[in-house]
Structure 1
């Protein structure tokens, strides 16, 4: 049940109280809510503590800072608007145009839905990325349709997907760091807290009617393998640091084994869902189902808070994921 303070925020928004009072109320802390979704286990401490903070409290840098600043305001009351079929098609086709090197055509298509593309440079690694972002996301009622970051300095061969930023705490930073660490990737990140929409409409890992899914579906149609990052609570898999799964498909079992072995070498205990029963296997994940339908390798990875909240341990996880994407980069 939401707290009294959260109800104050909702009421204030509806009544249209003075901006100064609203800003004061919005600064109050809010409580998270649970979910009956069998593939969801909310991580403890779901909100980002500061707009530019890395997991260890140090200032985030480079692409990680860009992503952290973007998601800093996400919570379950920030709102979400369900996109139309035309909206989803337009954004997916625009990303496809960018991947084909047709930036001008992509910009024209994106303008139809008030999105824009710009080039950003990561000062840490020096790599350039095309950022696809909503021009209206700073408004009073953000649509919450997410962003895409595409490596411009290498042919794109794989994707990293973050469906539950902030709700699965620090998974957005893991995604940004993997994209920076490993060339040839595309990062697809959801644009709202998973509980921001009515009746789970913002839970993009389990909805086909989202921009996030439309873009990921376009990527698997193009044959791009992907890894989707999630965060689990301590008691979800108490004997394991990581749960690795291929979702509904079996086309990434060898990649899953290699990733699990790389994680084990770095001291992590991994539950391997293709070999035994594990919690949070992601069988109902719609991006995983789309990948299985197209026979495209895809992995669903749940990281415990001990990895996500410790920068040194997170570095080991990113290194293991980079080993995986390195094999995908070699594929034509």
Structure 2
């Protein structure tokens, strides 16, 4: 029996159509992945977090969280009741009301565990008790050995590659810290819903509202592509306010003394000054100190330079008295 001529024509046509669709899919993935996480591949990689030694515990934990949870997380916008429950739970923990805090946090399926970072260093980790990639609301770490006196905020731990290491470094270097880390890529939600530095309807912002109410100063760390601010390593700003200017000067001086090229937003016209940052505007409205720090990709991509930048930030943060 002769082969069916229709089949001879149809099969190659179907294969050709499938090949075209597969090629388009591969091309789409190639475009979308770098767009979502370009800063992870646009420069040198500082390497994995330490696996032993004094820096291993917290830094490794946060580095793994950024790369394995935040990078893959979806973002489900919290409603007002959820935001308030989580923020109140964190505030109660900061106030020393730990049993009440645990109960309030449980209302939104968050829990508390104690994590260690080297001999004698303990932090409370407040995190989602379920799959953290489901909602992308983030984590909070609270120093258990010193009265809380400042917060360090990491709003873009993946989009600003390795900024989680800046935040962790400050927390470890300056006692009395509260570390707030966003739980999803800034583009994970619909529109800018997950861009916590520019939204007031997020868990991240709700927590900062409670801390500002307690007059706790804050430093917020970001990263920029080297081409965004040519000739500069760090941009130091006090955002929309001015009350943190003494600490801004301390930080800028320390950075420059160590060879960093710094743009001081209160002296020069700097890109990325963070004047529209929602947490900064909140702090400015209440005269609570706020520092907005942008660090170049070249610095964030070098472990030694990152450590030196963190030392300058910690020097400034240590000037803040307990609760202002």
How high is the TM-score relative to the length of structure 1?
A: 0.83
Aligned match for 1:59, one of 50, 57, 60 = 50
The 1:103/1:32 distance shift into structure 2, 3 A limit, reads same
Matching of residue 179 in structure 1 with residue 171 in structure 2: yes
For residue 200 of structure 1, give the secondary structure of its aligned residue in structure 2.
coil
* Corresponding position of 1:133: 127
8 A Cα contact 2:49 2:59, kept in partner: no
Partners of 2:258 and 2:43 in 1: CA distance: 28
Aligned match for 1:72, one of 53, 67, 87 = 67
8 A Cα contact 2:244 2:290, kept in partner: yes
* Corresponding position of 1:32: 35
8 A Cα contact 1:243 1:270, kept in partner: yes
Partners of 1:163 and 1:95 in 2: CA distance: 17
8 A Cα contact 2:43 2:301, kept in partner: no
The 1:63/1:147 distance shift into structure 2, 3 A limit, reads same
Q: More helix by proportion, 1 or 2?
A: 2
8 A Cα contact 2:263 2:270, kept in partner: yes
- Alpha-carbon deviation of 1:315? 1.1
- Alpha-carbon deviation of 1:57? 3.9
| Structure 1: segments with no counterpart, 5+ residues | 10-28, 35-41, 50-54
Q: Deviations over 1:8-32 (max 9, x none)?
A: 69xxxxxxxxxxxxxxxxxxx9322
Larger Rg: 2
Matching of residue 190 in structure 1 with residue 182 in structure 2: yes
- Alpha-carbon deviation of 1:326? 1.2
* Corresponding position of 2:249: 257
**Aligned ranges for residues 210-221 of structure 1 at < 5 Å?**
210-221=202-213
Q: Deviations over 1:67-106 (max 9, x none)?
A: 1111113567631000000111111111111011111111
* Corresponding position of 2:11: none
The 1:331/1:203 distance shift into structure 2, 3 A limit, reads closer
Paired residues, number: 297
Matching of residue 107 in structure 1 with residue 99 in structure 2: no
For residue 327 of structure 1, give the secondary structure of its aligned residue in structure 2.
coil
Partners of 1:325 and 1:96 in 2: CA distance: 20
Q: Where do 4+ consecutive residues of structure 1 move more than 4 Å? A: 5-9, 46-49, 74-77, 329-332
* Corresponding position of 1:90: 85
RMSD after superposition: 2.5
Partners of 1:91 and 1:331 in 2: CA distance: 21
For residue 318 of structure 2, give the secondary structure of its aligned residue in structure 1.
helix
- Alpha-carbon deviation of 1:5? 4.4
The 1:330/1:89 distance shift into structure 2, 3 A limit, reads closer
Q: Deviations over 1:105-130 (max 9, x none)?
A: 1111111100001111112x531001
- Alpha-carbon deviation of 1:33? 4.2
- Alpha-carbon deviation of 1:253? 1.3
* Corresponding position of 2:311: 319
For residue 132 of structure 1, give the secondary structure of its aligned residue in structure 2.
strand
* Corresponding position of 2:140: 148
The 1:80/1:208 distance shift into structure 2, 3 A limit, reads same
| Structure 2: segments with no counterpart, 5+ residues | 1-23
